[in-house]
């Protein structure tokens, strides 16, 4: 007898890729080491006696680069991480044994898209726009979807459509749209498992303000223990019209790190004629 999950998979699924392609020069926060990829060995560099050759790669990168997840160890407030863990002491040894990205279990669970830009009828919210609780609730109602405990909630501001522009995506003078403290609290009240957005820092960045204050990070990572996923590509997902789906996210299991590049998926059973 076939496993129910495998049966559903074999009946056909559609997969939407929510991750950005990792390319040298892509927009990212200057606070983090830049992504770089190079080929130390190319075909023809060293040919084996049987005529074969192998090419390989070298990568250097921060972990909060490209589409990525923030582990709870990423942020502290008043010297404490989530659960009251002493933040300075936790870093001694150079690995966050507690709350590092290796403690995030692979996610295979319900995902919900809140397409705020779609609801507002704009290509993208303006830089610095704060997505309000009213926006979240109206979007949810319009889409006929409830945010439930344990869900992963993806908030689309449309700002991700600017990723290819490079520097403007990062914000700087314009700021970046996103939820503020109130929106983060709304998510925390619903006890979601993780929250994501199509922007570089998940939350609203004020014009010219950079990353100086990140209250939603405090609410989610420190107070509520909710993971944050950033720099998602939600354009393709919005185009599907899916409001709920199976969400899969598997962080690299980097011992003691504060985050990981990820390539999350939204999956649904294929439509049948």
Q: How far is the CB of 157 from a copy of itself (least distance, A)?
A: 22
For tokens 């300075």, what's the residue?
88
Q: How far is the CB of 109 from a copy of itself (least distance, A)?
A: 7
Q: How far is the CB of 169 from a copy of itself (least distance, A)?
A: 16
Q: How far is the CB of 11 from a copy of itself (least distance, A)?
A: 7
Element (H, E) at 87: helix 87-91
Nearer to a copy of itself, 63 or 157 (CB): 63
Nearer to a copy of itself, 31 or 121 (CB): 31
Nearer to a copy of itself, 46 or 239 (CB): 46
| β-bridge mates for residue 156, sequence order | 115
Phi, psi angle pair for 236, to nearest 5°: -65, -40
| β-bridge mates for residue 155, sequence order | 114, 197
Q: How far is the CB of 218 from a copy of itself (least distance, A)?
A: 6
> Do the Cβ atoms of 253 and 88 come closer than 8 Å?
no
Nearer to a copy of itself, 74 or 204 (CB): 74
Q: How far is the CB of 134 from a copy of itself (least distance, A)?
A: 25
Nearer to a copy of itself, 80 or 119 (CB): 80
In whole angstroms, what is the distance from residue 189 CA to residue 176 CA? 24
179 to 19, 56, 135, 216, 222: CA distances (angstroms): 21, 41, 10, 7, 16
44 to 37, 38, 54, 250, 252: CA distances (angstroms): 19, 16, 8, 35, 31
Nearer to a copy of itself, 159 or 242 (CB): 242
In whole angstroms, what is the distance from residue 136 CA to residue 258 CA? 28
């Amino acid at each position: 007898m076939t496993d129910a999950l495998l049966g559903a998979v074999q009946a056909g699924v559609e997969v939407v890729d929510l991750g950005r392609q990792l390319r040298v020069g892509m927009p990212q926060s200057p606070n983090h080491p830049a992504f770089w990829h190079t080929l130390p060995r190319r075909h023809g560099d060293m040919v084996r006696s049987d005529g074969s050759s192998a090419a390989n790669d070298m990568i250097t990168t921060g972990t909060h680069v490209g589409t990525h997840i923030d582990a709870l160890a990423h942020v502290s407030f008043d010297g404490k991480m989530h659960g009251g863990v002493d933040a300075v002491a936790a870093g001694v040894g150079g690995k966050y044994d507690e709350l590092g990205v290796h403690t995030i279990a692979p996610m295979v669970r319900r995902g919900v898209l809140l397409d705020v830009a779609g609801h507002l009828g704009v290509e993208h919210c303006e830089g610095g726009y704060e997505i309000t609780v009213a926006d979240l609730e109206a979007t949810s109602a319009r889409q006929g979807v409830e945010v439930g405990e344990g869900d992963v909630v993806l908030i689309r501001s449309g700002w991700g459509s600017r990723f290819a522009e490079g520097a403007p995506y990062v914000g700087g003078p314009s700021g970046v749209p996103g939820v503020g403290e109130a929106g983060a609290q709304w998510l925390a009240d619903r006890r979601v498992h993780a929250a994501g957005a199509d922007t570089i820092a998940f939350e609203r960045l004020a014009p010219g303000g950079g990353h100086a204050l990140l209250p939603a990070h405090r609410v989610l990572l420190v107070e509520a223990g909710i993971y944050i996923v950033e720099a998602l590509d939600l354009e393709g997902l919005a185009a599907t019209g899916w409001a709920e789906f199976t969400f899969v996210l598997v962080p690299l299991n980097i011992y003691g790190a504060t985050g990981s590049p990820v390539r999350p998926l939204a999956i649904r059973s294929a439509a049948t004629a």
